[in-house]
């Protein structure tokens, strides 16, 4: 068995040689995530219009606004969606369909824009 003085002397020699004593680098672990797609709202709007999926675009827009505002509650105005070619009637039909599917909850105050609460995270569980 080595004496403490011998260990210190050996350590000093090791350090003086400049050898790296840190453990080898680990490969980063990949998190298991669900597949996803990343695209601009402009591209999504064009695809929705071409494929007749404008109602789906309304949901994508709501999810985007929720992410951007870091909130589950989003105000859905006609002006914001008309920027992407979505009519107010398409918006109303989309909100009705997605609410019936349990993906969102809609609060419709009279003569005001609807407020949507995103429930999709609850559906995934």
Domains of the chain: 41-124 (1.10.10.10)
User: Maximum distance among all alpha carbons in the chain?
Assistant: 87
pLDDT at 25: 82
Q: How far is CA 93 from the centre of its chain?
A: 25
Q: How far is CA 26 from the centre of its chain?
A: 28
pLDDT at 124: 47
- The model's pTM is 0.66
Distance CA 30, CA 8 (A): 40
pLDDT at 11: 65
- pLDDT tens track, the chain, 125 positions: 556 667 777 766 666 666 666 777 888 887 777 777 778 888 888 888 887 889 999 999 999 999 999 999 999 999 999 999 999 999 999 999 999 988 999 999 998 999 999 997 654 43
pLDDT at 86: 92
- What would the two tokens of residue 80 be? 């914001």
96 phi and psi angles, rounded to 5 deg:
-65, -45
pLDDT at 117: 96
Q: Radius of gyration of the chain from Cα atoms?
A: 28
């Amino acid at each position: 068995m080595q004496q403490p003085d011998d260990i210190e002397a050996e350590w000093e020699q090791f350090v003086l040689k400049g050898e790296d004593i840190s453990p080898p680098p680990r490969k980063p672990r990949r998190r298991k995530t669900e597949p996803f797609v990343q695209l601009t709202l402009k591209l999504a709007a064009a695809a929705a219009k071409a494929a007749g999926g404008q109602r789906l675009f309304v949901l994508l827009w709501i999810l985007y606004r929720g992410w951007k505002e870091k909130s589950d509650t989003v105000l859905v105005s006609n002006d914001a969606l008309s920027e992407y070619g979505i009519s107010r009637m398409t918006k109303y039909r989309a909100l009705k369909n997605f609410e019936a599917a349990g993906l969102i909850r809609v609060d419709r105050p009279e003569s005001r824009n609807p407020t949507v609460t995103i429930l999709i995270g609850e559906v995934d569980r």
